[in-house]
Structure 1
Amino acid sequence: MRLTLRQKLVIWFSLAFCGIIAGFGILVLRNNGDRYQQQSYAHCRRIVQANIDLADNYFEQLSNVVYIVVSDQDIITSVNYRMNNPDVDYSIELYNQRKVEAKIKQFDVLENVKNAIIVGPSGEYLYYYGASLVQGYAFDEQPWFMEATDTNRMRFVNYHPTDYLLNGSEKQTVSLVVPILNASQYFLAETAYLLCDFSLEPILVDPGRDGEVQIAVYNGKDPVHIPSQLALADSQLAELSKHIEEGKHSFVLDACRENRSSYLVVNDTSEISGWLILGIMPLDSIQELRSANRVFVLALMLAAFVVVLGVSALLTRSVLVPMNALIQKFNAIGRGEKNVCFKKTASVEVDLIAETAAQMLKKNDQLTAEIVEESKQRVQAQMRALQHQINPHFLNNILQSLKALAVCGDTEAISKVATLLGKLLTYSVYDPYDMVPLAREFEYTGTYIALQNIRFQNKILYTVDLPEAAEQFLVPKLIIQPLVENAIEHGFISSEGGRIILSADLDEKEMYIAVTNTGRVIEAEQVERLNCMLHEKKADAQGTSIGMLNVLARLKSCFGSGADLRVMSRDGMNTSIVLTLPYGKEG
């Protein structure tokens, strides 16, 4: 499909600017997306660092209080007494319990410590502070306790059951386990341990609204604390543990079938507890921001696209309106209109083209007038030359006839020939280049045939079939006579005579004039050869087609390329030369 210049300008202008706008929009979307993720990462990192600072501060306070307690001489003495005296003196033990209780009460300065328990080497508790314990509970049978005491140093214990409490069989807690030292800061031969249960949740920063950063705690790859608000799927938990085990400090948990939310995870290590503090932030809010930003940018792009279309339409209109007016002027020139005026426009370029076109039109008119005049003179010269080619040939034949009559002494025939010749010369000499009615041309041709009958002893019969509607059709002078002469010379030269029929007919478009003779019939091959030579403007070797070539040339000069001359022959009957003239274009 071919496009107009306006369509091309609008399309290319719009595509170029829309491409720029689209590129800018993509850059904005990408930049905003990266910026949102960076801001989310920074926010998550700040939350994690704040929790690490808060947790480390609390763990440091807890460690200081614990070391004060386990290093207290009253604690060491009381524990040593219980360990070395199977038979306990209850008065001494009651005294020791009061001293131990007074020392353990130092944990009151830390609000989150729930229980403090001194566990002896046998795995049974010796002293406790807080909730009541299950009598005879064996701590040395608990894996979490044995793992915490295998190095004889301070250890933070992950969430573990609190079934050693009377009302804590279904609860879990985190704890700090510390060996109790003697007065010389050496471990006792059989070590006792101080077990402190504390709440982890109050230590962590409250993340606030749903969808904000949630804090989780991991001990290596095992979870210590995962917020209940996080509905992570099993596959996401497995992926989380895998990334932590690989040592990654920030990563994204992809959405899965069970949980359509993805999460940004940032983690760092607590220097005191050794636990990993994880900030887990749902990316739903970021996706919503990205979607809103995408809609906003797309709306801006659409608005810009509409504006660009409007501006491009206005710009192309300002260019193409004067251009279209100029094209209409050119079309008028193409239709042959002469009085075409170019008006001034607001476009300098269009005015320059119009001025150039006006100059070209003026020059073209001058050249056309010169060419027409030269062509007219050339056609007139050609017609005169053709006319002069006809007259000498005709006169030569007449003179030969007069010579023959003079030799025979036929004065009557000579007188008749002279009279007829006078009529012919009068017709041909005066205004020989005029157009005459077809009826007059047929009358002249009849005079010519009468003149030839003197030569052929009245053996040539002559018939005219001219409709009244064709009588005034204008034709060049002496256009029929050469064809009749050709018919006589080549059709009756060796015969006993014959008939010549002059006929005419016309339809809505063309006039048909036929010269038919019943003399010698031309064979079909020769007819075809003659017609080919006529249309190729060539004469045959015998010169039989020169007269017809001259007639055809004169007809085309007068009637244009639509004029035609064709030879037709019917075996055993007659030969015709048919002239075809465009009707209504004569004279």
Structure 2
Amino acid sequence: MRKIQPYVNSLRFKFFAAVLVIFVPLVTVLVINNFYSVDVVRNQVAQSNKNMLGLYMGQIDQRLEEVDKYLANTLESNLSILDMEFPKSRDEDRYNIAKLTLFSTLRDDLGYYPTLDAFYVYSSVNRDLVISQTLPDNFEAREMARQEMLRMVESEAGTIDYSRWHVWNGESGDYLFHLMKSGNVYMGAWIGSDKLMVPLNLIDLGESGAAVITTEDNEPMSHDDLIEDKGIDLNFPSESYAISGEGRDTYLVMGEKSERGNFNLVAIVPEKEILQKLPYLQRVSSIISVAAVLFLLVFVFMMRSIFLKPVKRIVIAMRKLRDGNWDSRLDQKPTSTEFQIVNETFNRMIEEIHHLKINVYEEKLNHQRAELKHLQLQINPHFFLNTLNIIYNLATVKEFSLIQEMSKCLVSYFRFMFRSSSYFVPLGDELAHTANYLRIQQLRFPDMFQYRVDKPEELLEQEVPPLIVQTMVENTIKYAVNMDEPIRIDVEVAQAEDASGDSRLVIHVKDTGAGFPDEVLKRLALDPEPQAESESGEQIGIWNARRRLRLLYQEKATIDFYNEAGRGAVVRIEIPMDKKTG
């Protein structure tokens, strides 16, 4: 959540959010209106065509019902039908008379049913078919129709529902037929599918639209090539419409089922021709939607170039400044006048801050140098008074050889002091100076203490603050050496590594005295920088050393004080190697 919050609170996010809040609802309304308009037109076209199909299917069913009544009455009342139930061989003359009479009756009655192509009667006992048809007088056409009806009767008789009309896919075309049975005689009617489609073909369903009669399984009886080429599925819902087709050629499919037969009337209307008839406002709505999206893209692109990119450059520059990169500047790229002023002012401000920071840093550095030099000078008179006192005491007892050695040691001591105005000296020089100081003190307190100074060859070139070791040794002699019991002072130097793997120089100043009193250890732990101007002057050397280390190394150097079990006091100095400051 914290990672997301800066992005959400950014100017870029708020800008895009504001743009989207304005444009998205507008475009959404226009798109919804567009789809709604298309859906309304589809529903209107579908409903209109469905009403037309329902009306025409009602007319067809009404005519088929009239034919059904005629067939049923004829089968029940016509005596010639009864004569055809018996074998022709029983009374051939009577059979032929009945056949002629029946043909004449069917021919006369066929004129009352213009929808039909033929009436037929089939005697299963005699395998004889009587047909009265309205086909052309062409003998071959009549004979072809006769053979088609004969195949239909012999194939379907005894297997179909005699109460309904059925579809026959013949060799010469597709037909509707109805077959009724009375004993061994079958009577029926025959209609070509093309004759039923004549009125529907006059309806404008579009250039590639069509009306089709289908079987109850929705197999088409015409327009097979169109339906297969466009991939149209003729299944339709009873109360609405379906959309079918492949690719961009989609069609509205609607239909009506017949109540009298196992067939359907289906209309397929190309959708592209429907949408071409949409109202003018719907087209305007589509144009506005597209224009709004294009305008949004152009607007975002322009605002990104004019507003967001200059702001982003400023933010990147400010982040670099936050990370301490004071060389960061804003390039003077072509932009708005306001941003040019901001860029120039920003660069001028950073330049001034940079110079100001350099001045402050130099001032602080000079102050630290002055303070450090003052601290170093503070040590010199402190020891100088002690050495004069030693020489006075030796002169009093006339120890001239010791005075000579003391003078030689003092020359070395003050030679080091006079050249120690720098902030760092080699560790070898500091240890030699400390050993010289210890010899001076040993001459002062003969037979009262011994000393040892480690000088590892690999560490002698490492630079350390001057007098840092000698100050700790001086403090040890001041508080640990007494006239009652001799002690030993050891200066040990080693190299160590901290947790981050950096090398550290560790210096131990140890003695075999009584150790630090508890109150002194507490005071050193609680008050690491006691005031130099305390009345007794206690720990002024410790404060001096700590202050110099802090000026030179900040928090990277430490001085610790503790007592070692069975030995005495220990001062531990730890400073980073090759990481001096100042």
TM-score, reference length from structure 1? 0.51
Computing the radius of gyration from Cα coordinates, the structure with the larger value is 1
- Say whether 1:463 aligns with 2:452: yes
Residue in 2 that maps onto 1:242: none
The CA RMSD over aligned residues, in Å, is 4.2
Return the structure number with greater relative CO, CA threshold 8 A, min gap 6. Answer: 1
Match of 1:316 in 2: 304
Aligned AA (1:486): N
Q: Tell me, yes or no, if structure 1 residue 5 matches structure 2 residue 4.
A: no
Query: Would you say 1:373 and 2:362 are equivalent positions?
Result: yes
Letter in 2 for 1:15: V
Report the Cα offset of residue 20 of structure 1: 5.1
Taking the aligned partners of 1:559 and 1:457, their CA distance within structure 2 comes to 38
User: What are the superposed Cα offsets for residues 156-215 of structure 1, whole Å, 9 maximum, x if unpaired?
Assistant: xxxxxxxxxxxxxxxxxxxxxxxxxxxxxxxxxxxxxxxxxxxxxxxxxxxxx9xxxxxx
1:463–1:500 Cα contact (<8 Å) kept: yes
Does structure 1 retain, via aligned residues, the 8 Å contact 2:448–2:487?
yes
Between the aligned partners of 2:488 and 2:560, the Cα distance in structure 1 is: 20
Corresponding residue for 1:496? Answer: 485
Q: Is the 8 A contact 1:486 1:544 kept in 2?
A: no
Moved more, 444-453 or 472-481: 472-481
- 1:381 offset after TM fit, Å? 1.1
Q: TM-score, normalised by structure 2?
A: 0.51
* Structure 1 range deviating more: 301-310 or 525-534: 301-310
Q: Is the 8 A contact 1:435 1:474 kept in 2?
A: yes
Whole-angstrom distance in 2 between the partners of 1:443 and 1:535: 28
Deviation at 1:373, TM superposition (A): 2.2
Aligned mate of 2:377, from 355, 373, 388 = 388
Of 506, 511, 517, 2:495 maps to 506
How many angstroms apart in 1 are the aligned matches of 2:331 and 2:454?
57
Q: Is residue 558–residue 575 contact of structure 2 (8 Å, CA) maintained in 1?
A: yes
CA–CA distance in 2 between the matches of 1:539 and 1:578? 25
Change (3 A) 1:376 1:295: same
1:26-65 equivalences under 5 Å are none
| Stretch of structure 1 that moved more, 489-498 or 476-485 | 489-498
Amino acid at match of 1:499: R
Partner of 2:418: 429
The alpha-carbon deviation at position 358 of structure 1 amounts to 1.4
- Shift of the alpha carbon at 1:538? 7.9
Shift of 1:21: 5.1
Q: Is the 8 A contact 1:527 1:568 kept in 2?
A: yes
* Aligned counterpart for 1:418 among listed residues 397, 404, 407: 407
The letter for the 2-side match of 1:465 is: D
Unpaired segments of 5 or more residues in structure 2?
42-202, 204-237, 241-273, 497-501
Counterpart-to-counterpart distance in 1, 2:447 and 2:421: 29
- SS state of the match for residue 480, structure 1? helix
Confirm whether residue 352 of structure 1 aligns to residue 341 of structure 2: yes
Q: Is the 8 A contact 2:428 2:460 kept in 1?
A: yes
* SS at structure 2 position matched to 1:457: coil
Counterpart of 1:556 in structure 2 is 550
Measured in 2, the distance between the counterparts of 1:345 and 1:449 equals 74
Task: Show CA shifts across 1:193-248 (max 9, x none).
Answer: xxxxxxxxxxxxxxxx9xxxxxxxxxxxxxxxxxxxxxxxxxxxxxxxxxxxxxxx
Query: Of the candidates 468, 471, 483, which is equivalent to residue 482 of structure 1?
Result: 471
Identical-pair percentage: 23
Residue 408 (structure 1) aligns with: 397
Q: Which amino acid aligns with 1:14?
A: L
Q: Distance in 2 between matches of 1:295 and 1:479?
A: 92
The 3 A distance-change label for structure 1 pair 315 and 498 is: same
What residue in structure 2 maps to residue 582 of structure 1?
576
- The alignment partner of 2:559 has SS state of strand
Is the 2:34–2:282 Cα contact (8 Å) retained in structure 1?
Answer: no
Matched, 1:546 2:540: yes
Structure-2 change in CA distance of 1:539 and 1:504 (3 Å)? farther
SS state at 2:17 partner: helix
SS at match of 1:360: helix
Q: Which letter does structure 1 place at the counterpart of 2:14?
A: K
Whether the aligned pair in 1 keeps the contact of 2:530 and 2:543 (CA below 8 Å) is: no
Structure 2 residue 369 is matched with structure 1 residue 363: no
Determine if contact 2:510/2:568 at 8 Å carries over to the other structure.
yes
**1:10 touches 1:309 (CA, 8 Å); kept in 2?**
no
Amino acid in structure 2 at the alignment position of 1:544: E
Select the residue among 452, 469, 472 that pairs with 2:441.
452
How big is the shift at 1:27? Answer: 10
1:28 offset after TM fit, Å? 11
